[in-house]
Structure 1
Amino acid sequence: MALVEGCKHRFEITVPADEVARETDAVIDRLKQRVRLPGFRPGKAPAGLIRRQFADDIRQQVLENLLPRFIEQQAKEEDLEPVGSPSVTDLKFEDGEPLVFTVEFEVAPEIELGQYTDLTVTYADPEVTEEDVETRIEEIRQRRAEFVNVDPRPLEDGDFAVLELKSLDGVDGQPIKQDDIHLEIGGEDTVAGFSEALRGASPGDECEFDVTYPEDYGQEKLAGKTVHFHAVVKGVRRKELPEINDEFAQDLGDFQNVGELREEVRRAIHGERQFAGQQAAKDALVEQLVDLHEFPVPNAYVDRQIRSRLEQGLRQLASEGVDIGKYKPNWDELRERQKDRALREVKASLLLSRIAEREAIGPTRDEVDREVERIARQQREPVAAVRMRFEKDGTLGRIAGHLQTQKVLDYLFEHARKVAGEAESAEAPAES
């Protein structure tokens, strides 16, 4: 055995000549039953003729049968568990001779845990001010607004234009086409070009105009683009906001008055901020863990994580309307840019799994069952059917892994020293 570097191991393996001969004869026997040669009944062609006519196929099949078997045997003898695909080099395969080859494969690293409790992290229980409560209630009020039709007149700031809108040029892929879009003239969230083009227009008017989207616009396919639109103004509407009173509170749920609504809003804001603050603190703890532990990582793990990150990025682009079929990035450059982050994510995942093993942390059967039941309710499917599907496709294992990761993060947070302040957000660790 030779440990090459990091997680790589290299062996020279010799398969005895008699083992090679037996496997070769077995391959020829199976081949005889399948091939049809002129002048011979099925299965009756001489072995020598089969060997000559199908020498390359026989050689390939013998290698495909023997290499995995002897690599696995060698790994078991050395008490190693390969990850990824082994690499075979220096292959020597001659008739009547032993089969000799060199194999190199990676194994999962042995991680010696250092400090992972009593780490210092920035966190303080969040405060919720009256202004925070008022702002949230105003947001709710805005969402409960009603839009009322206004007698036909020119559009002015504060009006909501009801439009039939279609892009004529400037959009890659499918054009934008919406029949009843509402745009607030002069609105904070309205791209300025729309307000400029539509201000003063009246119901029944048709117009064409260009709109230049900001570079940081939320949809990547429109960011920084100038799009030529055709619009038909179908109507004018104004927003009417409800009054904040006990009736307003009662309409929102099980509240008797505005005071109860305010208290529930305060609790909700506190819960949201507490969750976000704790999540940022947990992310920071994981970053510390990675910095405190130096160990090699199999390239196979890193490559898998890079693929996962790239696939996630493609799904995000597709959700934003980007035509993935026409997306032609420099893949090598993208992979290289993802490498450092992917490496840290893999290290984080391995460390969290090692801590879970050390501290005997894991989800209970009831916790997994509750998560399956929650998903089944969300998907409106029978729990038994969802569980059966999850058992078959591996989702059940991923659910258990996710729950284990969350419990380890909770453990790290509970055993950390918190200092007052606002935690810096860090990228969350990937799960294995």
Structure 2
Amino acid sequence: MQISVEKRDGLEHRMTVELPAEGFEQTVETRLANLARTVKMPGFRPGKVPLRIVKQQYGAQAQKEALDEAVQSSLYEAFNKENLRPAGAPSVEFLPLEEGKGPKYAVTFEVMPEVELADMSGARIEIPVAEITEADVDKTIDRIREQRQEWKEVERAAKDGDQVMVDFVGTKDGVAFEGGTGSKVPLVIGSGRFISDFEKGVEGASAGDVRNIDATFPEDYGNKELAGQTVQFEITVGAVMESVLPEVTDDFVKELGVEEGTVEALHSQVKENMERELKSVTREITKTNVMDALIEKNKIDLPQVMVKEEMQRLARQMENMLAQQGIPMPKDKPMDPELYREQAERRVTLGLLMSELVNKEGIVAADDKVREAVEEIAAPYEDPKEIIDHYYGDRNRLAEVQAVVMEQAVVDWILERAETVENKTTFEEIMQSRS
């Protein structure tokens, strides 16, 4: 087997392989001989068709099949011989057969990049640090109360935070536009559900008032025909209602399903849930900062075949998610993978770097850490043991947790060597950064 390799731009290579003629010719002859035993042709009994006629009829087919077999049996042997690691499926091109010579083919492919990991001791990584205050807990309990708020009709002008029932007709240049008409639509002033000018136009109105206002849509408004345009609305105000929040009593606590049924128990449970959430979000932010530092310290060439595969995967993932929400993509206009190039490049980069780090440093997902992660997932459930048993009874689910633990092990390894700086912040700011 004769091999020649040509290095092209970036990670792309072209390898030409020429196989011995003897073995190939024998393979073709064997295929034709086997075919002659079973082939049926008019005027001949089965198995009695002359080989020369079989060769005329099926020679090209036998040769192609032999070529395919030759590539399959020799390609990865050639890769190993040349110490090449292809990053994806190669593109195969059969070259013209020459008299007296064996089959010759060329493959074009990208190789895996050589990864030389940088010293992470020079990296500077921020770690968010926050404490949960009593005020934070009170705010969270207030949000729970808001979820169970009731609306009480009042006889006064509407103000910020009130809910107003409105009828409206929107026109542009005197013509009603699509989506600009509504009847008995609830509007909470200050919620941002309507455009700002509309909400301001309702503020201060009382039940029965009719207001005619100009309203300008934002430049980035979803409807391009209205984006940045000024229109007119005639708004008829119906009932004005103010929010009534439930009092935090033992009865209210019991309605929330807190077993102890006391305000103290609610406060304790809410704080415990907040601490769990804070730990999770802080860990995610820290991981993102660590991965940013890893990418910044290690600039590598990316195999475009891997990037394109990841782009396609992300596009399909988004299509599936939209379909589950009842928003299927048109068959003639699938999701454009190019929208996910940046995300795909980041994922491929991290995959290559972390794989090298894991192999080089012998980083593992320790069993006790996996157990700890599963218990953390199970903690919020009514019967944590049932959830734990479910994970350990399902290899695929457990493998997902092991992958997360392995990723965290890499993060911890880097944090032990890098310079870490605490970024003192608040619970509210950390939660907002996640959205």
| Fold agreement, TM-score > 0.5 | yes
Q: String of CA shifts for 1:373-393, please: whole Å, max 9, x gaps.
A: 979x999999599737x4xxx
Query: Counterpart of 1:387 in structure 2: which amino acid?
Result: D
Structure 2 unaligned segments of length 5 or more: list them. Answer: 168-176, 209-214, 230-238, 431-435
Judge conservation of contact 2:374–2:388 (CA < 8 Å) in 1: no
1:101/1:283 Cα in 2 relative to 1: closer, same or farther (>3 Å)? same
Structure 1 residues 24-62: Cα deviation after superposition (integer angstroms, max 9, x where no partner) = 123324444564321223333222212211233223212
Conservation of the 8 A alpha-carbon contact between 1:162 and 1:236: no
Give the 3 Å change call, closer, same or farther, for CA 257–406 of structure 1 in structure 2: same
**Contact preservation (8 Å) 2:375, 2:388:** no
Residue among 290, 293, 297 paired with 1:288: 293
- Give the direction of change, closer, same or farther, for the CA distance of 1:284–1:215 in structure 2 (3 Å limit): same
Deviation per CA, 1:1-29: give whole Å up to 9, x if none.
53615444443322111111122123324
Aligned to 1:45: 49
**Equivalent pair of 1:372/1:383 in contact (CA under 8 Å):** no
Is 1:352–1:408's contact at 8 Å kept on the other side of the alignment?
yes
1:404 partner amino acid: M
Question: Normalized against structure 1, the TM-score is what?
Answer: 0.69
Matched, 1:262 2:267: yes
- Which of 172, 191, 195 is residue 194 of structure 2 equivalent to? 191
Cα deviation for residue 243 of structure 1 reads 0.3
Distance across 1 between alignment mates of 2:364 and 2:325: 37
Kept in 2, the 8 Å contact 1:128–1:270? The answer is: yes
User: What is the alpha-carbon distance in structure 1 between the residues aligned to residue 284 and residue 392 of structure 2?
Assistant: 33
Q: Is the 8 A contact 2:373 2:401 kept in 1?
A: no
2:360 matched to 1:358?
yes
Matches within 5 A, 1:397-416: 400-416=402-418
Q: 1:369 to 1:243 in 2, by over 3 A?
A: closer
- Contact in 1 for aligned 2:5/2:16 (Cα 8 Å): no
**CA distance 1:27–1:82, change in 2 (3 Å):** farther
Specify the code of the residue in structure 2 equivalent to 1:280: I
**Counterpart in 2 of 1:166?**
none
* The one of 57, 64, 67 aligned to 2:61: 57
Partner SS for 2:246: coil
- In the other structure, the counterpart of 2:174 is none
What is the TM-score with the length of structure 2 in the denominator?
0.69
| Cα shift at 1:124 | 3.7
CA deviation string 1:373-425 (max 9, x = no partner)? 979x999999599737x4xxxx7755543432232123333543222337999
CA distance in 2, matches of 1:365, 1:32: 61
Q: 1:133 to 1:200 in 2, by over 3 A?
A: same
Q: What is the aligned residue count?
A: 396
Identify the residue that residue 247 of structure 2 maps to in structure 1. 243
Q: Which residue of 2 aligns with 1:309?
A: 314
Correspondent of 1:300 among 277, 297, 305: 305
Task: Quote the RMSD (CA, aligned, Å).
Answer: 5.2
* Aligned residue identity for 2:407: T
**Larger Rg belongs to:** 2
- CA shift digits 1:166-205 (9 cap, x unpaired): xxx969xxxxxxxxx99455461543699899x9999xxx
Flag the 1:313–1:221 CA change in 2: closer, same or farther, 3 A: farther
Percent sequence identity is 25
Deviations 1:220-259 (A, max 9, x none): 9999699xxxxxxxx9998643102344345431456434
Of residues 131, 138, 157, the one that matches 1:134 is: 138
Letter in structure 1 aligned against 2:116 = E
User: Is the Cα contact below 8 Å between 2:392 and 2:398 reproduced in 1?
Assistant: no
SS, match of residue 84 in structure 1? coil
